[in-house]
Amino acid sequence: MNIKNDKKKYKFLEDVAIADIAFEAYGKTLTEMFENSALAIFELSADLKTVDAREKLEFALENEKIDNLLYDFLSEILFLKDSKYMVFKKSEVSIIENEKYQLKAVLEGDTINPQKQKLENDIKAVTMHMFEVKKEKTRWKATVVVDI
């Protein structure tokens, strides 16, 4: 078992999508992989050292397919960024598998303030290009390309 790789939360893939940004996110559990995918999005949006966890936002989603659930989850983060003017620092996710996958998430972050936060990419959308959720031997892996 590659322990070093298991500890890695996410990795940006260079030269996969020239005009966009691609990443892989990992987790020992499905929940952890979702949280790490969100973390990659947060990291792209702002320097996380400059973002405080001052406010919480909660939401719930459900879907029959796990990859569509991840797509909706990440898209919801982009929607909340623009509609609530927030940048985020961390997320807590729980997923229950009934007939459908049911997700509950809490995002922690702060109202956008360019004087306070070092802001980076204003991500436009999560794309379906190369989008994949995969269960490997010891971990879950997601491949995501975001439109910048």
Amino acid at site 20: D
For other proteins, give the closer residue by CB, 99 or 114: 114
- Candidates 53, 56, 128, 138: give the one binding other proteins (CB under 8 A): 128
Residue 147 touches other proteins, criterion: CB under 8 A: yes
Residue 57 touches other proteins, criterion: CB under 8 A: no
For other proteins, give the closer residue by CB, 28 or 53: 53
Name the residue with tokens 């909660």: 58
- Candidates 79, 96, 106, 135: give the one binding other proteins (CB under 8 A): 79
Instruction: Report the nearest approach of other proteins to the CB of residue 93 (Å).
Output: 20
Amino acid at site 123: I
Q: Which helix H or strand E contains 26, and what residues bound it?
A: strand 21-27
Q: Measured between alpha carbons, how far is 93 from 34 in angstroms, rounded to an integer?
A: 7
- Candidates 10, 34, 71, 140: give the one binding other proteins (CB under 8 A): 71
Let me know: does 55 contact 86? Beta carbons within 8 Å. yes
Phi first, then psi: give them for residue 61, nearest 5 degrees.
-140, 160
Where helices occur in 46-131 by DSSP H, the ranges are 66-84
Name the residue with tokens 């995918």: 37
Phi first, then psi: give them for residue 58, nearest 5 degrees.
-120, 145
Residue 138 touches other proteins, criterion: CB under 8 A: no
Q: Measured between alpha carbons, how far is 89 from 52 in angstroms, rounded to an integer?
A: 7
For other proteins, give the closer residue by CB, 26 or 42: 42
User: x/- contact string, 12-31, with other proteins (CB under 8 A)?
Assistant: x-xxxxxx-x----------
Give the binding site for other proteins (CB under 8 A): 12, 14-19, 21, 45-46, 68, 71-72, 75, 78-79, 81-83, 85-87, 112, 114, 118-122, 124-131, 147-148
